[in-house]
Structure 1
Amino acid sequence: MNKLIAFLKERKITEVECVICDMTGIARGKIAPVDKFLDEKGMRLPESVLLQTVTGDFVDDDIYYSLLDDADIDFVCVPDENAVFMLPWTIEATAQVIHDCYDRMGNPIELSPRNVLKKVLSLYDEKGWEPVIAPEMEFYLTSRSDDHDLPLKPPIGRSGRPEAGRQSFSIDAANEYDPLFEDMYDWCEIQGLDIDTLIHEDGPAQMEINFSHGNPLSLADQVFVFKRTLREAALKHNVCATFMAKPVTDEPGSAMHIHQSVINKETGKNIFTNEDGTQSALFLSYIAGLQKYIPEFLPLMAPNANSFRRFLPGTSAPVNLEWGIENRTCGLRIPESSPQNRRIENRIPGADANCYLAFAAGLLCGYIGMVEGLKPSTPVQGKANESRSNNPHCLPLTLEEALVAMEESDACKEYLGESFTTGFVAVKQAELENFRRVVSSWEREFLLLSV
């Protein structure tokens, strides 16, 4: 705690936001005066927080009480002194401290997404391997509206006009929102978020922020904090920022592409590359692991009913798990690089995914592939995303289908635990039930007077 105490005192922090990340990626916790935080050196939260849905509901009672104590007891939250971030938008000097979740005996809580990622990283550590990732976060800026039935619209930029048409990689289109992005960059720098480039993506007011490569746990913390930071910067400028996978009809979806490689901790060399610079057997097995196991872990990368609107043939998003060199139509792209920087870009995860769980799932699939010595398919040349039919590496079509595959996955239960598998699936099934109750504007428009 010495490092954390020094941080708080040096920056004259008066309030501390004690947070954990729940299944859906929402920050939950408590706000405490700094003195109280230092006295208690942590916080307690009810176990039920980890089985809460995005709507604030809870899972079915049978699942709830099979995973949690009948008395709805608290678990212990321990601050991670390496996960402390200033909150530049607050009036009081405030720090956000990410906590880990433990039971009263000091055992990691299996339902905690951050613990899930740490569990996967421990598998690599036992092998003497160190995974390296670099996430790319896509998002839309939209005008504010309190009517959820109205389609989202791009916000007014500096020119006084909303974007018209697609402005992929346009510098001028990105500069329309300069004041917002200047705040975002300033706030990210204050928080130590290692963001790199800003890119205008295909959709109107759709952007992408790239993070520098690094440690998966550190970057998961940073992406978790970044989402909140961007939303706060957007609200300051009277617009909204959304990480929904498919927020706008007939426009590209938003992804969280994850570049990943693995370093030998002893030699510091990339295990995806042989001494002569050629691709290694482990590299091919990693790809094969992604191809075989992503369908079983897909809800961790595409966690919402809306997520699957992104996987449409003929769009910029992947529809299967083919792989190819410099091929952006594949779910698994191999960027051209030097041998030491050889890596795989997993293009499946959506921007709406819980970053801890999406990172964990991708790394675990690759790990299993290497351990089992799997062999990948032949790399694809040309378009890989025009059709799903007759493709052995196709993705589930719906969240319902994906949840069934995850619930039946022996690998998920073995590596992530039966409690986590059951709990996560239950949370997403509860959200699906809520989703099914809502009558959409499409139904009112086309069925109301026609059937």
Structure 2
Amino acid sequence: MDRNELLSILKQSDDQRIKIAVVDIDGVLRGKILRKDKFLNVLESSSGFCDVIFGWDVVDVAYDNAKVTGWHTGYPDTNYTIDINTFRKIPWDENIPFFLGDFSQTNHPACPRSLLKKVINKAKKMDLTPIFSEEFEWFNFDETPDSLHDKGGVNPKPLTPGMFGYSVLRSSQKSDYFNDLFTLLEEYRIPLEGLHTETGPGVYEAAIQYTDILEAADRAVLFKAAVKEIASKHGVMASFMAKWNAELPGCSGHIHQSLWKNGQNLFADNKDEYKMSPIFKSYIAGQLDALPEILPMFAPTINSFKRLVEGAWAPTTLTWGLDNRTTALRVLASGGGSTRLETRVPGSDVNPYLAMAAALAAGLYGIENNLKLSIKPTIGNGYEDKSNGTLPPDLKSATDKMKSSSLAKSLFGDDFVDHFCRTREWEHRQFAASVTDWEIKRYFEII
């Protein structure tokens, strides 16, 4: 749809509401409804959005260590622009028109979508077209915000009991919700390749159809928000925490990726023993090289690291393998158009813009520097293959490593790395200052 066609549709509509949103550093949609005439003015130029959205955390507590905005700047408005290519109508909410915006025209160092666009521009200069998709696992609960609040925010009741991976039975027992997810997401321009139950009580998995990387990231961000909204219509709470229960598997946000040129998948090479092209091998080498230094972009929360443990379907080592689900990087190499890399480090709690920016930037770094994939593919248990090293074990150590990384700064710029690492340091401090149920149970009586 071109600009004139879009304007015609909006002007002819009787609906005076337009919903717009931007995305904060944690991947949370921050938005509002605008009157149509106000929106049309914004579309023609730009408008201001209070930059507190980059000055507070996921629960709206203001950072005390931020530089880009804060009490010291007065939290001013910062200009954002609307991307007309993100136009959708929200089918579960009276078909209200919806658009995403970003801060790329003002080059705001804290805007995740703007950062991804910068990395995409680098790929374009290399004459490469990144094709990406993300898949998510998430748990569903028989709760409402009020019922969970009444429980003190703990012990949510799963939507269904038991371990029922790929279960036709469980999905049919909640078919109204399950079918609405597939159908309404399609209408919302988030087509799914597949939707099924995963192993665990009330857990689903969805694979979003692949497309160019910016649209893939938009779909991934909107998928998480949309699922929560659709779930609410059914009296369900959907959670994208990486690990909500220590006894159950965590939730992944695996990223699938390939590079194309002139309609050809540049990762495929039928003549190679692994059916992998040299550019594909350099791309993997770049990710393996960068992973320890940019890990917070894949694992952004304290909880992220509860998922990254041995034997829990999430990687802990710097490994790659051919169709191996125990390695950090899983290569799917048919030699044809479906040849791709699956980066298995991200959990479902990621900000898709940052995770995709990290994956692509690291891969391009490998290609630019003609890095050689010197390590062999891991065969068997990737948790036991520590020959190339392991991932940092927690958010603090991962953030410390990224903060001092010249590679991270070269990939994403000093200002982004500084701001992002400050937000992760804040996140660690909030956790370190809290008293948990574990501590009370362990120490209250006996110590």
Deviations for 1:266-303, whole angstroms, at most 9, x for unmatched residues? x3212223474642211111111111101111111110
Matched, 1:55 2:50: no
CA–CA distance in 2 between the matches of 1:231 and 1:71?
A: 33
CA–CA distance in 2 between the matches of 1:167 and 1:292?
A: 37
Matched, 1:272 2:275: no
Tell me, yes or no, if the aligned pair for 1:47 and 1:68 is still in contact at 8 Å.
no
User: In structure 2, what is the equivalent of residue 130 of structure 1?
Assistant: 129
Residue range with higher mean Cα deviation, 405-414 or 378-387 = 378-387
Q: Percent identity?
A: 30
Deviations for 1:102-132, whole angstroms, at most 9, x for unmatched residues? 5xxx442222100111011111100111111
User: In structure 2, what is the equivalent of residue 158 of structure 1?
Assistant: none
Q: Pick from 233, 242, 245 the counterpart of residue 242 of structure 2.
A: 245
Residue range with higher mean Cα deviation, 239-248 or 50-59 = 50-59
Residue range with higher mean Cα deviation, 267-276 or 296-305 = 267-276
- The change in CA–CA distance for 1:386 and 1:276 in structure 2 (over 3 A counts) is closer
- The change in CA–CA distance for 1:384 and 1:259 in structure 2 (over 3 A counts) is same
Aligned residues: CA RMSD = 2.0
User: In structure 2, what is the equivalent of residue 384 of structure 1?
Assistant: 382
- The change in CA–CA distance for 1:168 and 1:35 in structure 2 (over 3 A counts) is same
The normalised TM-score by structure 2 is 0.92
The normalised TM-score by structure 1 is 0.91
Q: Pick from 389, 393, 410 the counterpart of residue 389 of structure 2.
A: 393
**Unpaired stretches in structure 2, ≥5 consecutive residues:** none
Matched, 1:408 2:407: no
User: In structure 1, what is the equivalent of residue 206 of structure 2?
Assistant: 209
Runs of 4+ in structure 1 off by over 6 angstroms are: none
User: In structure 2, what is the equivalent of residue 441 of structure 1?
Assistant: 437
Matched, 1:25 2:27: yes
Tell me, yes or no, if the aligned pair for 1:131 and 1:215 is still in contact at 8 Å.
yes
SS at match of 2:33: strand
Matches within 5 A, 1:262-411: 262-264=259-261, 267-274=262-269, 276=271, 278-376=275-373, 377-386=375-384, 390-411=386-407
- Give 1:7 deviation, angstroms: 4.0
Tell me, yes or no, if the aligned pair for 1:243 and 1:352 is still in contact at 8 Å.
yes
Q: What code does the residue aligned with 2:93 have?
A: T
- Give 1:71 deviation, angstroms: 4.6
User: In structure 2, what is the equivalent of residue 8 of structure 1?
Assistant: 10
Tell me, yes or no, if the aligned pair for 1:163 and 1:173 is still in contact at 8 Å.
no
CA–CA distance in 1 between the matches of 2:40 and 2:72?
A: 29
Tell me, yes or no, if the aligned pair for 1:53 and 1:428 is still in contact at 8 Å.
no
User: In structure 2, what is the equivalent of residue 169 of structure 1?
Assistant: 166
Q: What code does the residue aligned with 1:221 have?
A: D
Matches within 5 A, 1:28-177: 28-41=30-43, 42-61=46-65, 63-64=67-68, 70-91=73-94, 93-102=95-104, 106-144=105-143, 145-146=148-149, 147-148=151-152, 150-155=154-159, 162-164=160-162, 166-177=163-174
CA–CA distance in 1 between the matches of 2:338 and 2:67?
A: 44
**Unpaired stretches in structure 1, ≥5 consecutive residues:** 156-161
CA–CA distance in 2 between the matches of 1:216 and 1:13?
A: 31
Matches within 5 A, 1:423-438: 423-438=419-434
Q: What code does the residue aligned with 1:349 have?
A: P
Q: How many residues align?
A: 435
CA–CA distance in 2 between the matches of 1:418 and 1:69?
A: 21
CA–CA distance in 2 between the matches of 1:195 and 1:394?
A: 33
SS at match of 1:394: coil
- The change in CA–CA distance for 1:128 and 1:40 in structure 2 (over 3 A counts) is closer
Residue range with higher mean Cα deviation, 186-195 or 123-132 = 186-195
